[in-house]
Amino acid sequence: MTVSSTSDLRPVAAPRDLFVQRLREQWAEQLGRRLDVLVAGCLHDEPRTLGRIETLLTGVDEDLPAVRAATAARADLSRCLLGDLRSAPIRPRSFDVVQVSFLLERIHHAELVLDRLLQALRPGGLVLLRMRDRCSAYGLCERLAPRWLRRHLTGVDLPAVYEPLTSRDGIHAFCLSRGLMITDDETAASAPAPTPLGRTAVTLADRLTRGRCPATHDEITMVIRKPHNHFARLI
């Protein structure tokens, strides 16, 4: 099966004003200095209107046809690095903000990749994280469904890996072990699956698991801060 065009992508909820607010606060803390932003997950991430705040955006993502098409259409990125995220040429402590948008659930070695992205973050910097929850009904369907059914859920042919990190408990444990602070933690239900079959699968997953994998949400939004005095792997 070939990867669909970006026009076929499953719609996602609009980026929360929460991220814009945290970006403005970060800019104010830096006394108006330009924000260097690393955008990890260029497929679903969208440009944000920040008014007079100056930003320089660098993209990084896996080298997949749908991703290449999406990044080619984005004029807001100063450059984009596509390839193996474990070895992408990202300089340590070179970004004020790292945006991770619907990336972790579709890659292998997600914990290693997130560690690498954190190395690129300056002390006091922010991670703006959005991902699908592997413990939701949608996440359960996507990670267990055969490839043909997954397309009814997402509208696009992308990997659905969903390692244990891609859950609220997974991220909380990761942050605790690395001395990171979660300042915001929210769940939301984004747009429904694009076909009746996909929506039926999500509803059935909720019922068959008796709500342990709920259909009430599928998306996790978090803001994570890297402390100024940061020591890796405290525990």
pLDDT at 150: 77
Residue 108 has pLDDT above 90, yes or no: yes
Is 31 inside any structural domain? yes
Is 37 inside any structural domain? yes
Is 166 inside any structural domain? yes
Is 111 inside any structural domain? yes
Residue 216 has pLDDT above 60, yes or no: yes
Split into its structural domains, the chain has a count of 1
Considering 3-12, 55-64, 173-182, the range whose residues carry the highest mean pLDDT is 173-182
pLDDT at 146: 84
Domain that holds residue 43: 16-132+161-191+217-225
Residue 22 has pLDDT above 70, yes or no: yes
Is 199 inside any structural domain? no
Beta carbons within 10 angstroms of residue 146's beta carbon: 7
Q: Are 129 and 102 in contact (CB under 8 A)?
A: no
Share of the chain above pLDDT 70, in %: 87
Is 116 inside any structural domain? yes
Considering 95-109, 140-154, 193-207, 219-233, the range whose residues carry the highest mean pLDDT is 95-109
The CATH number of the domain where 86 resides is what?
3.40.50.150
Can you read off the two tokens belonging to residue 76? Answer: 């807001």
| Continuous H helices in 3-134 | 17-29, 65-72, 110-119
Is 114 inside any structural domain? yes
Considering 36-45, 150-159, 213-222, the range whose residues carry the highest mean pLDDT is 213-222
Is 144 inside any structural domain? no
54-73 pLDDT per residue, tens:
889 998 988 888 888 888 87
**Amino acid letter for position 159:** P
**Amino acid letter for position 83:** G
